[in-house]
């Protein structure tokens, strides 16, 4: 039985269907960068998979190319820009911050602010006298019955 300590620099990546690519990295930072990239980059032809999880041949090519760029020392921004240059913003799971996508942050943000304003305003409101709950009031007989039930339940 061979005892072999496999070094952390040996690296493969594959997906559900277990397609294997063999990659060697020079450092943990590089490996971490590769993992981050293949998680945030999207496979352009798949049904919503990132590069890491996809077994499409295009995804494999993109992984290989990404690996080479990581080894060359390119930064995350440079590699992402490389892919966006070729496939557009679709290929990144982080949406660009533009006027068109502003609603992603502004929408919920405005809602929170609006909600806050309404909460503060309502807490200062005077009690409304008119109600439609007149039938919520108990009659005398019902009040007696209520008292009896409460007494029963405390036994």
Partner 1 sequence: MTNDVKKKKQLMTRLIPLIVFLCVSIFLYIGLFRDATVLESTFIGRPVPEFALNDLVEPELQHDKSVLSGKPMLLNVWATWCPTCYAEHKYLNELAEDGVYIVGMNYKDDRKKALRWLEELDNPYKISLYDPDGMLGLDLGVYGAPETFFIDSKGIIQYKHVGDINPRNWNGELKAVYEQLK
Partner 2 sequence: MIPEIGHFSLIVATALSFLLAIYPLIGAKINHPGMINSAKPLAIMQFLLMSLSFAVLTYAFATDDFSVGYVATNSNTLLPLQYKISAVWGGHEGSLLLWSLTLAIWTAAVAVFSRGIPKVALARVLAVMGMIAIGFNLFILLTSNPFDRTLPYLPLDGNDLNPLLQDVGLIFHPPMLYMGYVGFSVAFAFAIAALMAGRLDSAWARWSRPWTLVAWVFLTAGIALGSWWAYYELGWGGWWFWDPVENSSFMPWLAGTALIHSLAVSEKRGVFKSWTVLLSISAFSLSLLGTFLVRSGVLVSVHAFASDPARGLFILAFLIAVVGGSLLLYAVKGSEIKSRGKYGLFSRETFLLVNNVLLIAALLVVLIGTLLPLVHKELGMGSISIGVPFFNNIFFYIMIPFAIALGVAPLLRWKKQEADLRPLFIQLAVSAVASIVLAIAIPAIVADSIKIVAVVGLALAFWVIITSVLEVYIRATHRHSFASGITKLGRSHWAMVLGHVGLAMMLIGISATQNYKIEKDLRMVPGDEVVFADYLFEFERIGEANGSNYEGYKAVFNISKNGKFETVMHAEKRSYFAQRSMPMTEAAIDWGVTRDLYIALGEQLADDSWAIRIYYEPFIRFIWWGGLVMSIGGLLAVSDRRYRFVNKRVAKAQ
Count the site residues for partner 2 by CB under 8 A.
66
Burial of 19 (0-12, 13-18, 19+ CB in 10 A): middle
- Which partner, partner 1, partner 2, none, binds residue 45 by CB below 5 to 8 Å per kind? partner 1
| Cα(102)–Cα(112) distance, integer angstroms | 16
91: its two tokens: 């290929």
CB 59 within 8 A of CB 74: no
| Cα(79)–Cα(47) distance, integer angstroms | 23
29: its two tokens: 């930072």
Count the site residues for partner 1 by CB under 8 A.
13
- Which partner, partner 1, partner 2, none, binds residue 71 by CB below 5 to 8 Å per kind? none
CB 76 within 8 A of CB 37: yes
- Which partner, partner 1, partner 2, none, binds residue 125 by CB below 5 to 8 Å per kind? partner 2
138 binds partner 2 (CB under 8 A): no
Range 65-124, binding partner 2 (CB under 8 A): 88-96, 100-101, 103-105, 107-109, 111-112, 115-116, 119-120, 122-124
- Which partner, partner 1, partner 2, none, binds residue 4 by CB below 5 to 8 Å per kind? partner 2
13 binds partner 2 (CB under 8 A): yes
Q: Which residues make Cβ contacts (< 8 Å) with residue 45, sequence separation at least 6?
A: 56, 58
| Contact with partner 1 (CB under 8 A) among 35, 86, 143, 145 | 86
């Amino acid at each position: 039985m061979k005892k072999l300590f496999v070094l952390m620099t040996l690296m493969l990546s594959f997906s559900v269907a277990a397609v294997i690519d063999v990659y060697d990295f020079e450092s943990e930072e590089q490996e971490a960068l590769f993992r981050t990239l293949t998680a945030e980059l999207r496979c352009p032809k798949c049904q919503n998979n990132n590069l890491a999880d996809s077994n499409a041949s295009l995804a494999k090519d993109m992984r290989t190319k990404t690996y080479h760029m990581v080894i060359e020392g390119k930064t995350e921004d440079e590699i992402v820009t490389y892919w966006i240059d070729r496939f557009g913003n679709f290929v990144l799971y982080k949406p660009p911050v533009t006027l068109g996508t502003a609603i992603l942050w502004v929408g919920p943000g405005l809602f929170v602010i609006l909600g806050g304003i309404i909460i503060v305003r309502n807490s200062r409101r005077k009690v409304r006298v008119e109600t439609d709950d007149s039938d919520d009031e108990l009659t005398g007989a019902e009040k007696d019955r209520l008292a009896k039930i409460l007494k029963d339940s405390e036994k």
